[in-house]
Amino acid sequence: MPADAANSPSPPIPSSEAPQGPVDEAKDRIAKLLVANGHLSPEQLRHAQRVRAKLPTPKTLLRLLQDLHYVTRDQIQQSVVTSKVPIPLGGLLVELGVIGESDLESALALQKERPGIKLGQILVDHRFLEEKGLLEVFSLLLGYPKLSPTAERQDLEVFRLAPAKWYRENEIIPLGRRDGAVVLALAYPLDLRLVEASRKIFGENLIIGIARRGEINEALDRYETTRARGPSVELKDNLVIQTVNQIINDTADANASDIHIEPMKDCLRIRFRQDGVLTQYKNYPKELAAPLVSRIKIMASVDIAEKRRHQDGRILFDGKGLTFDIRLSTYVTLHGETIVMRLLRSRNELLEIRDIGMSPRMLQRYLEDVLDAPSGVVIITGPTGSGKTTTLYGSISYLNDPKTSIITAEDPVEYVIEGISQCSINPKINLTFEHTLKSIVRQDPDIVVIGEIRDKFSAETAIQAALTGHKVLTTFHTEDSIGGLLRLLNMDIEAFLISSTVVCVVAQRLLRRVCLNCAEDQTLTPQQARRLGYESRQLQGVRFKVGRGCGACNFLGYAGRVAVFELLVLNELVKDALIAHKTAYEIRRISADSTGLVTLLEDGIHKALRGQTSFDEIIRELPRLAKPRPPEELYRLLGEGL
């Protein structure tokens, strides 16, 4: 059991079962509690209310009181927990800044359509807030410990005190006894009637904690299975095999790219990466970690006895009517081996270069000044999962014709393109990048594709191939386009060689796309404008989009992803700056002034202005290395208006 679970009756708590009033009801009640408890004087409260009325951007009263240093979060918690006066949950969440007033109004309207459903469940089901956000409010502010039912050992003696159907209906599960008290995990501890019913079943001495609804239901499944088979049931091979297969199949169904399997102190955590963001999948009991990791290592043909060093492997998995090429990496940690699996789906359809998402003028320049150039190095940069491979293959497809010889060295080959010679690196048979690159130039190619510049040798090979008249396409891991040039310099490649051979550097990122079905206008606050690098007057009348969440996007507010680009085509001024070893800031300024360089941030802002992505995605993903130009200037540079 968690050490921080307090062995005491549950504290008096705000109630959401009473009819919800306006946000002001919660605000006024909390303010009165702070005054009554001596944490806030009436004069301070009146002053805060006057300040709040004059603010250009709305701010909750509790946040303002904290900003003015009149009260602390601990004082708010103490006042709410010890209060005998019910405080509406919705108003409390708004005052804490967890949700907005418009979110609460929408949730209350939905609650009227679904009588009997708790407000907290409505908020989570319709993605007004993440379930973990609701749990944080219950835990940090209201004093409930967070519990993990799937990570706890089964206690069938306590479980048998109530019918399984009752547990299901009320989303509650007992986790055993501690110091004479029964530990209960509830999905929604504000239901005072459920707490009273629990006392009648398990006794007055309870430890009330909170847990995710999904974990409670998973633990109930496990408890019922164990009770049916007996408490001595051990993990069977077929159970582990089914669990691994289910995880991979669910990853495919979720269209996720990666699986993270992470042994924790008290459980085995599984997460998926969907649209570039890690999301919780499930937690399993700690005892499942070792057999599950061993099963995956067997599938990947790596040494299952080796648990002291990191390993890499590969799995070919047949599921959902498709074959998945899964690349696996194990990593030794304090709590055991973590595993990350990347699913490389069989991709039969290439995205054409005109469909990858470049703005019209940027695309025209990329085709005419870069891909149609007879020779030189084209570098596509960005972090893992930024869409570099899609852009690389789209460029190859554009260049592929019967009069051109294209040869590749890739690890691995992700798309099979008819008419070109593709080589997949395999170090196990000594088919390494170094060996392949030595042979590749003897194949009389017109275009050489190097999957990735990994070291000085691969960088020098790309440069030498370009010097002998070849066109070279490759990828690189850098933050932006200027960073690609600087990293080549850091590999001890001479500046005059880089300036003589590199034609273009494309930097890119993938941002989540706002769902078209639930998109609504968002006016940026002055603070948000400043975070983008603008003054608020520069964005007057400008609207971004934000997804409210709907069935079409699984209530995430996003559906799919959109690429943003930074295209640096080297001209003489940029080459001279590179040879003179100018700073990144100076090279970026020269590029913007002389080549029309549009930064990743600017392209992201432009796509947000067109309603394709959101402010939050820009802040989360894009480097802010220089102030962006005004929106009207971006429209002109990119050739794409509203």
Could you tell me the residue range of the domain that residue 616 belongs to? Answer: 353-508+561-621
Same-domain pairing of 316 and 451: no
> Is 84 within a domain?
no
Query: What phi and psi values does residue 552 have, to the nearest 5 degrees?
Result: -65, -30
In the predicted model, is pLDDT for residue 241 greater than 50?
yes
pLDDT in tens, 252-266: 888 888 999 999 888
Band of residue 630 on the pLDDT scale cut at 50, 70, 90: very high
396 in the same domain as 341: no
How far, in Å, CA of 45 to CA of 31, rounded?
Answer: 8
In sequence order, the 6+-apart residues with CB closer than 8 A to the CB of 62 are 27, 30, 71, 76, 95, 96, 97
Q: Note whether 548 and 518 are within 8 A (CB).
A: yes
Is residue 472's pLDDT more than 90?
A: yes
> Are 340 and 358 in the same domain?
no
Q: What is the pLDDT of residue 226?
A: 58
Are residues 269 and 409 located together in one domain of the fold? no
Is pLDDT of 124 > 70? yes
User: Which of 171, 339, 336 lies closest to 247, judged by CA?
Assistant: 339
Does residue 114 carry a pLDDT above 80?
A: no
The last residue of one of the domains, among 293, 315, 345, is 345
- Cβ neighbours for 232, distance < 8 A, ≥ 6 positions apart: none
Other beta carbons within 10 angstroms of residue 527's beta carbon come to 9
Does residue 447 lie within any of the structural domains? yes
Return the pLDDT at 220.
82
Q: Of all residues in the chain, what percent are helix, strand and coil, respectively (each to 5)? A: 45, 20, 35
pLDDT at position 380 is 96
Residue 214 lies in a domain: no
DSSP state of 211: -
Same domain as 277, residue 250: yes
Indicate the residue type of 330. Answer: T
Quick check: 231 pLDDT over 50? no
CATH of the domain at 317: 3.30.450.90
Please tell me whether residues 331 and 426 are part of one structural domain: no
Do residue 503 and residue 571 come from a single domain?
yes
Within-domain flag for 294: yes
Q: How confident is the model at residue 77 (pLDDT cuts 50, 70, 90)?
A: confident
Helix (H) or strand (E) holding 17: none
C-alpha 150/C-alpha 212 separation (Å) is 10
Note whether 316 and 392 are same-domain residues.
Answer: no
Is 324 found in the same domain as 372?
Answer: no
Nearest to 292 by CA among 342, 249, 236: 236
Amino acid letter, 625 = L
Specify if 516 maps to a domain: no
Residues 282 and 367 in one domain: no
pLDDT (0 to 100) of residue 345: 65
Q: What is the b/e burial string over 602-635, where b = at least 16 CB atoms within 10 angstroms of the residue's CB?
A: bbbbbbbbbbbbbbbbbeebbeebbebbebeebb
User: What is the CATH number for 358?
Assistant: 3.40.50.300
Task: Look at residue 492 and tell me if it is in a domain.
Answer: yes
Instruction: Single out the residue of 373, 372, 415 nearest to residue 391, CA to CA.
Output: 415
Q: Are residues 382 and 467 in the same domain?
A: yes
Residue 371 lies in a domain: yes
Phi first, then psi: give them for residue 481, nearest 5 degrees: -65, -40
Boundary residue ending a domain (345, 364, 388): 345
Length of the chain: 642
Q: List, for residues 281-301, the tens digit of each pLDDT value.
A: 888 888 888 899 999 999 998
pTM of the model: 0.65
Encode pLDDT of 175-192 as tens digits. 888 888 888 888 877 677
User: Of 299, 326, 345, which marks where a domain is finished?
Assistant: 345
Residue 447 and residue 334 in one domain: no
- Answer yes or no: is 497 within a domain: yes
583 has a pLDDT exceeding 60: yes
Report the range out of 114-128, 215-229, 504-518, 536-550 with the highest average pLDDT: 504-518
82 versus 262: which is more confidently predicted?
262
Total domains in the chain come to: 2
- What average pLDDT score do residues 261-276 get? 89
Which helix (H) or strand (E) covers residue 302, if one does? none
**Which has the closest alpha carbon to 507: 479, 532, 466, 526?**
479
Query: Is residue 3 predicted with pLDDT exceeding 60?
Result: no
- Rounded Cα distance, 532 and 605, in Å: 8
Q: What mean pLDDT value characterizes the chain?
A: 83
